[in-house]
Amino acid sequence: MTSRDGSATDDLALLDRWSGGDEAAGKLLLKRYFDVLYRFFANKISSDTDDLVQQTMMALLAARDRFEARSTFRAYLLSIARFQLYEHLRRRKRAAELFEYDTVTAFDLDPSPSTRAAERRDHELLLGALRRIPLNFQIALELHYWEDLSGPELAQVLGVPVDTAYSRVRKARELVRRQLKILSAVPSRTAAAHASSTVASGDGEEERGLDDSLMSAGRG
3-state secondary structure of 2: strand
Query: Is domain 8-219 classified as CATH 3.40.50.300?
Result: no
Distance of CA 125 to the CA centre of its chain: 17
Bigger pLDDT: 196 vs 176: 176
Of the ranges 142-146, 164-168, 187-191, which one carries the lowest mean pLDDT score?
187-191
Q: Residue 53 above 50 pLDDT?
A: yes
**pLDDT of res. 48:** 87
Q: Residue 139 above 90 pLDDT?
A: yes
Of the ranges 60-69, 90-99, 147-156, which one carries the lowest mean pLDDT score?
90-99
Q: Residue 34 above 90 pLDDT?
A: yes
Of the ranges 36-45, 164-173, 205-214, which one carries the lowest mean pLDDT score?
205-214
Q: What is the mean pLDDT of residues 205-216?
A: 67
The C-alpha atoms of residue 104 and residue 58 are separated, in whole angstroms, by 27
Of the ranges 53-57, 81-85, 116-120, which one carries the lowest mean pLDDT score?
116-120
**pLDDT of res. 3:** 46
3-state secondary structure of 7: strand
Ordered by start, the domain boundaries in the chain are 8-219
Q: Identify the sign of the CA torsion 4, 154, 214, 86.
A: negative
CB 194 within 8 A of CB 184: no
The C-alpha atoms of residue 40 and residue 34 are separated, in whole angstroms, by 10
